[in-house]
Amino acid sequence: MYKVEISGVNTVELPLLNAEEKLELMRKIKKGDEDARREFIYGNLRLVLSIIQRFNGRGETADDLFQVGCIGLIKAIDNFDLEQNVQFSTYAVPMILGELKRYLRDNNSIRVSRSIRDLAYKVIQYKESYVKENDKEPTVEEIAKELGVKKEDVAFSLDAIQDPISLQEPIYNDGSENLYIIDQVSDDKNSDELWAEKLTIIQAIKKLNDKEKMIITKRFFDGRTQSEIADEIGISQAQVSRLEKVAISRMKRLYK
C-alpha cells in the first residue's frame, strides 16, 4: 500500500495543488479544457492515495484500488458544481469512497444475488439523493414506500452487501491490550451439561481464584458478554478481558 509506484504512477513525484490553482483549473474544465482536466486529475491523485489506505488488508492490490479510486475522482470532477460553496476535496472524498465500496461489494467472496444487490444500490442512491435534499437520512419506511418494496427487504439488502469482518478484529485498545469483536459476543450454546462432560476442565476451574472462577463461569456457562460482566462487577471490560485470558491460560497449564 505504500510503494512508490502504483499503476505506473510515481507517487513520490505527485504535485499538490493549492486552493487557488484548483479553482482556476476547475473553471477551465467547465469550459471544456482537456489539458486543465488532466492537470487537475494528476494534482488530486494524492487524495486518492490517502483514501485507499483505509482499505488496506481487504485482499485487493493497491493498483486495483488506486484505479477504482481514480474513477471516483473523475466522477467527482465531472459532477462538481462551482456554484456550491464547498471545497472540491469535501465533495470528492465520499464519491471516491463510494466507488471503492461498490467495487469491494461487487468483488466480495460472499456471493449476493443480483436482485438483492440491485435493490441495495437503489436504496443507497435514494438515500444519497434524499440526504442531499433534506440534510438527513430517510427512514426505512420512507425508503420502502419510495421504492415500492417491503421495509424488511430494504434492511436485508443493505445487510447483504456489508463487508464481512473477522471476530478477531480489534475494536478498542486501553493502552496495554486490544479488545476484539469476539470479546463482545455472548455464547448461548455452551451449557453446564456440555462443560460437565469435560471433568478435567471442571477440576481446573475449581483451582482458579474467586474472581477468575466467576468470570469464566459467567462467560462460558451463562453465555454473558464481557461488557455485561464488567457492568455487573464494577470493573472495565478491558480488565474482564485480561482476567479471562489469565484464567484460561492457567486452566490450560492445569489441564496439561
Side-chain half-sphere exposure of 112, counting CA atoms within 13 A = 22
The top-scoring range by mean pLDDT among 23-37, 83-97, 102-116 is 23-37
Q: DSSP for 142-201, please give it.
A: HHHHHHTS-HHHHHHHHHHTSPP--TT-EEEE-SS-EEEGGGG----S--HHHHHT-HHH
pLDDT higher than threshold 80 for residue 11 = no
The residue-averaged pLDDT of 243-255 equals: 80
Q: Choose between 223 and 196: higher pLDDT.
A: 223
Termini Cα distance of the chain? 43
| Predicted pLDDT of residue 148 | 92
pLDDT band at 212 (very low <50, low <70, confident <90, very high): confident
- The tens digit of pLDDT for each residue in 134-163 reads 888 888 889 999 999 988 888 888 777 666
Supply the pLDDT for residue 34.
92
The whole-model pTM stands at: 0.45
pLDDT at position 24: 92
Q: Which residues of 145-162 are buried (b: 16+ CB within 10 A; e: fewer)?
A: eebeeeeebbeebbebbe
Question: pLDDT of 38-88, one tens digit each?
Answer: 999 988 888 898 888 888 766 678 888 888 999 999 999 998 888 877 888
pLDDT over 70, % of the chain: 74
Report, as an integer, the average pLDDT of 206-232.
Answer: 84
Flag whether pLDDT at 4 surpasses 80: no
pLDDT reported for residue 71: 92
